[in-house]
Amino acid sequence: MATVNKNLSVYDKATIPNANGLRFGIVVSEWNSEITEGLCSGAFKALLDCGAQESDIIRWNVPGSFELIFGSKKMINSHKLDAVIAIGSVIQGETKHFDFVCEATAQGIKDLNITTNVPVIFCVLTDNNMQQAIDRSGGKHGNKGTEAAIAAIKMAVLGS
């Protein structure tokens, strides 16, 4: 597995574009909120650390990961943004629900990247159990929210 013994949130600031003046949206799913709050906090801190202003970051909550698609679309249509980070945590249960939510959310966010002019970063953990989610939202494998923020900055300035 790619993340074994790997901390995902280490970045070299010298290689990241300055985010001062860029505007970001963060859409956060309320499902497994102890995980999504950790991811959001990692993303927020990394954006600020790379130069973004707190007043240039908008956060909205949505009920579940499936709603990240509409939430991100509506945010793009109502604010002038350079990138959006969609944050969710889906954890495998006993039924096929996990597969449908993961598939639809990934496809929906992919569709937004094709149809709108604002990059939407996929920061949705899809884990087999809660421990895997804890390990990736500020635990032993770092914080995928941090990684998403760096991706958002890079995509916001792509081609400029």
Site of interaction with ligand INI (CB under 6 A): 29, 31-32, 63-67, 88-91, 93, 97, 101
Shortest distance (Å) from residue 85 CB to ligand INI: 15
Beta-strand runs (E) in 12-139: 24-29, 57-62, 83-91, 120-127, 137-139
Cβ proximity to ligand INI: between 18 and 99 the closer is: 99
DSSP 136: T
Strand, helix or coil for residue 2:
coil
Cβ proximity to ligand INI: between 29 and 137 the closer is: 29
State how far the Cα of 132 lies from the Cα of 119, in Å rounded to an integer: 27
Cβ proximity to ligand INI: between 43 and 101 the closer is: 101
Question: How far is the CA of 107 from the CAs of 34, 48, 65, 102, in angstroms?
Answer: 25, 29, 12, 8
Shortest distance (Å) from residue 32 CB to ligand INI: 6
Amino acid at the residue 81 = L
Where in the sequence numbering do the catalytic residues fall? Answer: 97
Shortest distance (Å) from residue 94 CB to ligand INI: 10
